[in-house]
Amino acid sequence: MTPECSIPQAVIAPELAWVGLAMLLPLLSACACALCAALRVKGKAPAIITIIALASSFLIIVKAYLASTGPVEVPIFQWITFAWGEGSFQSFTADCAMYIDSLTLFWMLFVTGLGTLITVYASEYMEGDCGHGYARFFFGISVFLFSMSALVLADNLVMLYLGWEGVGLASYLLIGYNYDRPSAVSAAKKAFIMNRIGDLGLALGIFMLWSNYGTLQYSELFAAMNQGGQSSVDWDLSVIPFLLMLGAFGKSAQLPLFTWLPDAMEGPTPVSALIHAATMVTAGVYLIARLYPFFELHPEALATVAWVGGSTALIAATIGMAQYDIKRVFAYSTISQLGYMFLGLGVGTTFGACYHTLTHAFFKALLFLTAGAVMHGFAGQLDLRKLSGLRHIPGWRIVSWTMFVGCVWLSAFPYTAAFFSKDAILLQALTSERADFRFLGWMGLFTAALTAYYTFRVWFRVCAGPVHFEPGSEGQHDEHDEPTHAPASKASHGAFQPHAPRWAIKGVLLILAVGALAVGLPAYNHVFAHETNWAQQMIAGSSAYQGAGLAANSHDPHLEHDAHQPTVLGMDAHTGLTVVGSSAAIGGILVAWFFHLRSRSAADQLRRALLSRWWIRWLPICMENKWYVDEIYHACFQLPLWISGQILNFGDRHFLDGVLVDGLAKIPMGLARVFRPLYGGALQGYAVTMAGGITLVLAWVTWIWLRGFN
């Protein structure tokens, strides 16, 4: 099982060390933000510093992209090096170095680019917190960007792990940004703990990789993989991808560990857009794409990835259909789209997965930012039943129409970028030789229809229809307590004035909408001008693609699928999928239009009708209650732990503490009670004790003495 593998050998290029600035600048801006917090800076200085740092690191990455020729390794400094012998398994090296290939650049381009845009947005969004949490917020963003860059640029798995934990920390800090709100605190804890479960898998996977290959550097790992592992324990090798997968599923909110992501929406919206939609949650996809060769060696691991991805996509979409909170709908759609990416990885198209990551990053960031603008303007109102007709309100047109763009993209409307990226994944699944992958492909198509429905459910409810809105309760959303706007809205009690976004928010929304259009260009070029897709080229030059080539040795998914003439519904696969995919998306949109714009009462009637029939009433109930996953986890893990905790607490309190500790302490206390009368405080009392004691001692000595003489 050592297939031909031709991952391009990385060239060592110390002259590219300036790319490391992309990592260093966010770190410096984090320090500067911390300084601002310490000096209690009142203005927007932290935001400006962060924007400048992130924009510079984006430019650096662009420059690196323009200068890149192939995989390079850039040593920066020696980080961890120690050896306890001369042999191959007797030294451990983890340098601070960068492995820059096209996959790295692909990821860094959208991470730093979106990071910059979302920071610009946040500079206006968070302005109500100037002087309070403003510096803390941008500190979190900077730490996140630093960690994410370290994760992506890393040259070895130890540095990747550093970044992996760093993004987890930043995510924790930013979800719990409103630390005086209990729900935010518990959401932060939940995210952190669920990520720890995944990270345990990742850490074990890294240990296993080291014990099998004796190195953690990508280039050496790929080379070692060609020769097979050196420790010849089969079990070890086959468990590696499963352990790595667990880490990826935790970070990317996949099936067993997805419940933290919807709760993570407690964080400020720019955080949801940047960390919990566009960048951090794609780290799992990056990890699997980067180490794709290992997954390649174990087809059953890839099948697991595909199944988990496909079922997560479906389940999250069904939950998303029944939520009323806009941000939660988008959160479940994020989980669902991440499921598509894992499905793509699993069925063997890293190109589809990575391209979908890119398109998803743009339209999902856009959607979250529009949701944030709505929340910002309507005092925290996010219930889609209480907002309507936003596009008719002056000042909200840009928000409505950029949201429309995001929704069209998310629903994979024909000939949008997301349509092509989703198409690449589903095509690979549907033309697979494995029946279960073909089933997953059909499941993905069904999910695509659901996606279109729930996406446009939001848009038709919030942006279309008659103008009607109820402001949210500002008290619950402290981030909206803006001193500048609060008097205006409070002065006119009955007539709440939504406060329309200003240039920073609108500008970023427009740029993102244009960006979402632009990420479709490579696909248009591919389809209409028959040029090679840019994303495909980027993936092809990296370890991810080479691995994908192994999967389909006989059957190259990207270039030669026409040669095999796989068919979908009797048509050529491409045409067939275009037809089916488009009808799924348009069908979903039409259903949403009917139920949520044309006759909104029909939706309630449908719900009542479903609830009144015993054989189907479980469906809406389960969907509205998120399939009771939280409750199941609560019953399976939290409750037993709570009960055992209570038992142990009881034992500790009453046995260890009560009997052992307090019981021992009672012995000297009892003794003291016997002797206490001797110390009455009267001088003669002490004298009597003393004289009596001496008498007793003398009597004893005399007795011994006399007996000794007998």
Q: Tell me the closest approach of the beta carbon of residue 40 to other proteins, in angstroms.
A: 54
Nearer to other proteins by Cβ, of 602 and 688: the residue is: 688
Helices 326-347 and 350-377 cross at an angle (nearest 10°) of 170
Q: Tell me the closest approach of the beta carbon of residue 655 to other proteins, in angstroms.
A: 32
Among 563, 677, 707, 709, binds other proteins (CB under 8 A): 677
The CA distance from 593 to 444, in Å, is 22
Q: For other proteins, which stretch binds (CB under 8 A), given 111-119, 133-141, 512-520, 674-682?
A: 674-682
β-pairing, 387-388 vs 468-469, is antiparallel
Per CB under 8 A, 698 contacts other proteins: no
Per CB under 8 A, 554 contacts other proteins: no
Closest CA to 431 of 626, 592, 273, 561: 561
Per CB under 8 A, 43 contacts other proteins: no
Query: What single letter denotes the amino acid at residue 405?
Result: V
Per CB under 8 A, 707 contacts other proteins: no
* One character per residue 628-667, x = contact with other proteins (rule: CB under 8 A): ----------------------------------------
Tokens of 262: 């919807």
The CA distance from 230 to 606, in Å, is 61
Q: Tell me the closest approach of the beta carbon of residue 682 to other proteins, in angstroms.
A: 5
Nearer to other proteins by Cβ, of 66 and 665: the residue is: 665
Nearer to other proteins by Cβ, of 40 and 676: the residue is: 676
DSSP conformational letter for 231: S
Per CB under 8 A, 691 contacts other proteins: yes
Q: For other proteins, which stretch binds (CB under 8 A), given 32-40, 125-133, 232-240, 680-688?
A: 680-688
Per CB under 8 A, 681 contacts other proteins: yes
Q: Are 230 and 88 in contact (CB under 8 A)?
A: yes
Among 39, 80, 647, 688, binds other proteins (CB under 8 A): 688
Q: Tell me the closest approach of the beta carbon of residue 696 to other proteins, in angstroms.
A: 15
The CA distance from 587 to 604, in Å, is 20
Q: For other proteins, which stretch binds (CB under 8 A), given 171-179, 498-506, 616-624, 677-685?
A: 677-685
For residue 75, what is the enclosing H or E element?
Answer: strand 72-83
Among 2, 69, 601, 684, binds other proteins (CB under 8 A): 684
The CA distance from 90 to 84, in Å, is 5
Q: Tell me the closest approach of the beta carbon of residue 187 to other proteins, in angstroms.
A: 57
Per CB under 8 A, 669 contacts other proteins: no
Closest CA to 148 of 259, 31, 260, 287: 287
Q: For other proteins, which stretch binds (CB under 8 A), given 106-114, 125-133, 261-269, 686-694?
A: 686-694
The CA distance from 144 to 165, in Å, is 10
Per CB under 8 A, 670 contacts other proteins: no
Q: For other proteins, which stretch binds (CB under 8 A), given 210-218, 295-303, 329-337, 683-691?
A: 683-691
Nearer to other proteins by Cβ, of 616 and 698: the residue is: 698
Per CB under 8 A, 18 contacts other proteins: no
Per CB under 8 A, 668 contacts other proteins: no
Per CB under 8 A, 680 contacts other proteins: yes
Among 618, 628, 650, 679, binds other proteins (CB under 8 A): 679
Tokens of 264: 């993570």
Q: Tell me the closest approach of the beta carbon of residue 688 to other proteins, in angstroms.
A: 6
Closest CA to 155 of 63, 222, 58: 222
For residue 289, what is the enclosing H or E element?
Answer: helix 283-290
237-249 residues labelled b (16+ CB within 10 A) or e (exposed): bebbbbbbbbbbb
Total residues contacting other proteins by CB under 8 A comes to 11
568: left (phi over 0), alpha (psi -120 to 50) or beta: beta
β-pairing, 571-572 vs 567-568, is antiparallel
- Please give the torsion angle defined by the CA atoms of residues 512, 517, 520 and 521, in that order, rounded to the nearest 10 degrees: -110
Closest CA to 131 of 226, 19, 43: 43
Per CB under 8 A, 671 contacts other proteins: no
Q: Tell me the closest approach of the beta carbon of residue 630 to other proteins, in angstroms.
A: 60
Per CB under 8 A, 682 contacts other proteins: yes
The CA distance from 192 to 198, in Å, is 10
Per CB under 8 A, 676 contacts other proteins: yes
Closest CA to 128 of 47, 55, 237: 47
Per CB under 8 A, 683 contacts other proteins: yes
Q: Tell me the closest approach of the beta carbon of residue 664 to other proteins, in angstroms.
A: 22
Phi, psi of 563 (to 5 degrees): -65, -30
Q: Are 134 and 4 in contact (CB under 8 A)?
A: no
Nearer to other proteins by Cβ, of 686 and 703: the residue is: 686
The CA distance from 440 to 38, in Å, is 53
Nearer to other proteins by Cβ, of 14 and 692: the residue is: 692
If DSSP codes are grouped into helix, strand and coil, which group holds residue 228?
A: coil
For residue 80, what is the enclosing H or E element?
Answer: strand 72-83
Q: Tell me the closest approach of the beta carbon of residue 178 to other proteins, in angstroms.
A: 56
Per CB under 8 A, 613 contacts other proteins: no
Please, which residues have CB within 8 angstroms of residue 555's CB and are 6 or more apart in sequence? 433, 561, 564
Closest CA to 112 of 10, 44, 198, 29: 29
Nearer to other proteins by Cβ, of 476 and 695: the residue is: 695
Q: In which residue are the tokens 């793509």 written?
A: 344
DSSP conformational letter for 400: H
Q: Tell me the closest approach of the beta carbon of residue 674 to other proteins, in angstroms.
A: 12
Q: Tell me the closest approach of the beta carbon of residue 132 to other proteins, in angstroms.
A: 56
Per CB under 8 A, 687 contacts other proteins: yes
Q: In which residue are the tokens 């790319």 written?
A: 19
Q: Tell me the closest approach of the beta carbon of residue 675 to other proteins, in angstroms.
A: 9
Nearer to other proteins by Cβ, of 650 and 686: the residue is: 686
Binding site for other proteins (CB under 8 A): 676-677, 679-684, 687-688, 691
